[in-house]
Structure 1
Amino acid sequence: MCRSIKTLRPPVLPEEATEEDIRAAALQYVRKVSGFRAPAAHNREVFDRAVEAVTAATTELLAGLEVRGRTGPPGRAD
């Protein structure tokens, strides 16, 4: 979908993703889905709410994931 969004969990990202990393990924996602790099003033509020919602969902997802002894590349079941 959007190749500029990085994987934010180990082993791809060895340290924990920062709040800034998570928000940047959320912003990229909302930009891709909406088709707007920077929305017009009349769309700014809904755009910003979407970024915050995706940020919160991503934070929750990363907090709940359990990555067990993965040896292969990401995206491939071992």
Structure 2
Amino acid sequence: MCRSIKTLRPPYTEEATADDMRAAALQYVRKISGFRAPAAHNAVAFEAAVDAVEAATRALLDELVVRGATRG
């Protein structure tokens, strides 16, 4: 699933940017919804889902402790 989503934690990515997190969230929501771009009547729900997944991604990456990696 979502093969184009790249790993955002060290050592795979030294520093995940906001754009990286947004792109991953968008790809995930596209995959699970089945829509590349939602119809107007689904746009609010689609964008809210992308925002929620992006926030969850940021929270996860902020809390992960990766052995052997240094936090900056």
Asked if 1:6 is matched to 2:6, the reply is: yes
Tell me the equivalent position of 1:43.
Answer: 42
- For the aligned residue pairs, the C-alpha RMSD in angstroms reads 1.0
Off by >2 Å, runs of 4+ in structure 1 = none
Tell me the equivalent position of 2:64.
Answer: 65
The separation in 1 between residues aligned to 2:24 and 2:10, in whole angstroms, is: 16
The separation in 2 between residues aligned to 1:2 and 1:20, in whole angstroms, is: 17
Tell me the equivalent position of 1:23.
Answer: 22
Identity of aligned residues (%): 72
Q: For residue 50 of structure 1, what is the amino acid of its counterpart?
A: A
Quick check: which one's helix share is greater? 2
Q: Given the two structures, how large is their TM-score scaled by the length of structure 2?
A: 0.92
Q: 1:51 offset after TM fit, Å?
A: 0.1
Q: Could you list the runs of 5+ residues in structure 2 that have no partner in the other structure?
A: none
Q: Secondary structure of the residue that 1:2 maps to in structure 2?
A: coil
Q: Deviations over 1:27-72 (max 9, x none)?
A: 00000000000000000000000000000000000000000027xx
The separation in 2 between residues aligned to 1:12 and 1:61, in whole angstroms, is: 15
Aligned residues: 69
